[in-house]
Amino acid sequence: MKGPTKQCESLKRKLKVWKIACFLIGFLFILYVYQAYIDDRRSLYFNLTDIRNATIGINNQLMGIQHDTNNSRSSEYNSDLLRNHIQSFNREHNRLTNYFNPFESNWYENNRRTYSFSIQQGFINVVDLLKLKNTTGHWSTTEADLLDMMNSTFIDYSRLLDKEQQNLNGIFERFPLVTETGSVTHSIDVEQIVKIQNEINNLSYFYLLYQRLPEEMNRLSEDEIVERLIYVLDMDEKEINEILIEEDQTLRKYNFTIYRDRSNVRGQLNGYGFINEVYFGTPPDEGDLVDRELVAENLNSLLKREYGEIDYVIYDRGINYQLEDLDPDKTQLYSYEVNLTVDGYRTEKSLMVYYNARNGNLVHFKNWYENSGGLLFDPSFYELDAEGILKPNDALTQYKNSKDTSLEEEYIETVIVWSSLSGKFELVHIYTSGLYLNAHTGKEEKVSSRGILRTFF
């Protein structure tokens, strides 16, 4: 009888040893996980320090432009330094995600497709442009206000980072879980961090597109948009079931869908209410081709409704121009390239318009051409005139004298472009090296595509 009793006692001892061993292993594992968590939070703290230093560096560069505006310390702004600070800013933000706790990671993973976690190229372009405007005499209250807004945003961001570090300070105590529980369990405000970065990016791209601040442009009402669409597209209201309008809050563009029984119409207006693009859907594949003169009349009427009493030149590009994916045996579209003109001078950028060759109806109007960036029309075009412009050779001579250079250039053409310096359409002389000189002043122009315009087609 003693044998089984000894075996039971031996088994109990073994179980006790196993329990102690499991407890120790579990305790050591928890201790390891806890220490790894504390190490991550300390790394996050130091990461925030690096981001804050980069933020201060960026802000110093912005202040350098302000110094230039006040005609002092004109060498303060350095484009290369700005890029280095932004590169550091983005790199450290990317590392920041390695040290997130589960709550921070969950928010980030659920929102990473919606928000940007970095400063984008648009901001660099804006700051370089502000510097250029300041040195070329194109500075205005808009630029001053924009610079102040960006400066204030980075100051707020630096304060936010400082606040987060104060909340995490306790993790450097010897026993933080006991003495500084709040620091151990604290989650940084990832949403606010991302929000501030997106404010900078959105403001940058808005300014690049319109050279205005958002509050300087009135929003179009839904009634205004509907009225303009019906007029410009010459639509029968009885055929319309519904018009759905969605505003792009970032770039003040208006995407629309017009629901009809026979086909839907989709498109986009820019912030001024002019068409970026409109698409009437797939045309029929059968039927005789209509007279091109009838289609040309339809195109002329469309351009008059869209732009009013301005001049333009139309180039007939045949059928299915640059539409290699279409089967010419089935789908045939009359293709037209359009340049707006002032006193005989054309826009450098073109419009493309496609009409159904079988019934003469509009199929596709797009305010961009290949990868040219598009002719984003705005009201400054109506102010343009060619009175008193300099001759190409005179403008070039004036430019050479101002730069003290003997650069050899040959004149190519005088065209209308949208100037990044003035923020409006300008007449320019183009030369062989890619030099653009303002036809009125003889000064060098900076030409911008204002971003490649693309919608959802």
Average pLDDT over residues 4-17: 74
Q: What percent of the chain lies above the pLDDT cut of 90? A: 54
- 418, exposed or middle or buried, with CB in 10 Å at 0-12, 13-18, 19+? buried
User: Which residue, among 193, 209, 208, 129, has the nearest Cα to 161 in the 3D structure?
Assistant: 193
Confidence of residue 451 (pLDDT cuts 50, 70, 90): very low
pLDDT by residue (tens digit) across 337-364? Answer: 999 999 999 998 889 999 999 888 999 9
* Backbone torsion region of residue 110, taken as left when φ is above 0, otherwise alpha when ψ lies between -120 and 50, otherwise beta: alpha
pLDDT by residue (tens digit) across 204-233? Answer: 999 988 999 999 999 999 999 999 999 999
CA distance 76 to 55: 16
Q: β-strand 351-356 against 333-342: which pairing, if any?
A: antiparallel
Predicted pLDDT of residue 30:
66
Confidence of residue 249 (pLDDT cuts 50, 70, 90): confident
124 Cβ partners below 8 Å, 6+ apart?
A: 79, 82, 83, 86
Average pLDDT over residues 145-155: 94
CA distance 426 to 389: 11
Own/partner pairs, 97-103, CB within 8 angstroms, 24+ separation = 98/40, 98/43, 99/40, 99/41, 99/43, 99/44, 99/47, 100/44, 100/190, 101/37, 101/40, 101/41, 101/187, 103/187
User: Which tokens in the block code for residue 74?
Assistant: 């004109």
pLDDT by residue (tens digit) across 65-112? Answer: 876 655 544 447 888 999 999 999 999 999 998 999 899 899 988 888
User: Which residue, among 334, 323, 378, has the nearest Cα to 359 in the 3D structure?
Assistant: 334
Contact present, 335 and 392 (Cβ < 8 Å)? no
pLDDT by residue (tens digit) across 43-55? Answer: 999 999 999 999 9
Contact present, 428 and 445 (Cβ < 8 Å)? yes
* pLDDT over threshold 80, residue 144: yes
